[in-house]
A = this chain, B = another copy of it.
Amino acid sequence: MPKNTDRRTRILDAAEELFAVDGFDATPTARVADAADVPKGLVFYYFPRKIDLLLTLLQERLPTPSKASVADVVRRGDPAASLLAMHRRLGLEDHDSLVLRTIIFRESGTHPEVRDHLRKLRRSLVELTETALEQAAEWTVAKKLRRQAAETFVSVMLDHANARRAGGALPDVQGAAAVVALAIGAPTPA
């Protein structure tokens, strides 16, 4: 509950946007201040070191996807559709998450403080996907296979988020959902 939500928030908004587009290192704090329309000094008033901008962004704005938020998009009997819906939900429930994940990826190699967030994100995504698969499959799936399927799909989602910023061709998430569904024994789609 930060006070002065107005300006502090505007700074974070600007940083989020710029970091995602240009990268953390390539974004001068001065540009953040400009974009937020606040004086340069104010950025450092709220975030003493530049890295604090990034850290705060991750701490305050990176939502840990909750199982609850996914449960209701699962379509029993249709794992492929369920995965797709989950993916859409994860990416859509707030525009932030994608942007922030984008940042995590790029910076985690260079900024060790950011790594934990990436680790956590992957782990929680895997768990989430496992749950989704579990609920969607009306038949029994071996635990190990389910985990492998979940990890596969998570890789695709992350690669997708990554490719989006990298500007390359986007991987085919829908295709991957179908592949994974088949792998765990879903009936061949008509």
Contact = CB atoms under 8 A, between A and B. Distances in A.
Interface of A: 22-23, 25-26, 102, 104-106, 108-110, 112, 115, 118-119, 122-123, 145, 147-149, 151-152, 154-156, 158-160, 162-163, 165-169, 171-172, 175-176, 178-184
Nearest to A116: B168
Output the residue of A115, A147, A159, A163 with the most chain B CB within 10 A. A159
B109 A165 contact: yes
B167 A112 contact: yes
Contacts of A183: 178-183
B169 A109 contact: no
A106 B184 CA distance: 33
26 contacts: A23-B110, A25-B25, A108-B167, A109-B165, A112-B167, A115-B166, A115-B167, A118-B167, A122-B163, A122-B168, A122-B171, A145-B179, A148-B175, A148-B178, A149-B175, A151-B175, A151-B176, A152-B172, A152-B180, A155-B156, A155-B171, A156-B159, A159-B159, A179-B183, A181-B183, A183-B183
Contacts of A149: 175, 179
A171 B22 CA distance: 27
A174 to B, nearest CB: 8
B154 A171 contact: yes
A166 B109 contact: yes
Contacts of A152: 152, 156, 171-172, 175-176, 179-180
Contacts of A178: 145, 148, 183
Contacts of A110: 22-23, 26
Output the residue of A26, A104, A145, A158 with the most chain B CB within 10 A. A158
Contacts of A165: 109
- Nearest first, the 8 closest Cβ-Cβ pairs linking A and B are A148-B175, A155-B159, A182-B183, A108-B166, A183-B183, A155-B156, A179-B183, A152-B176
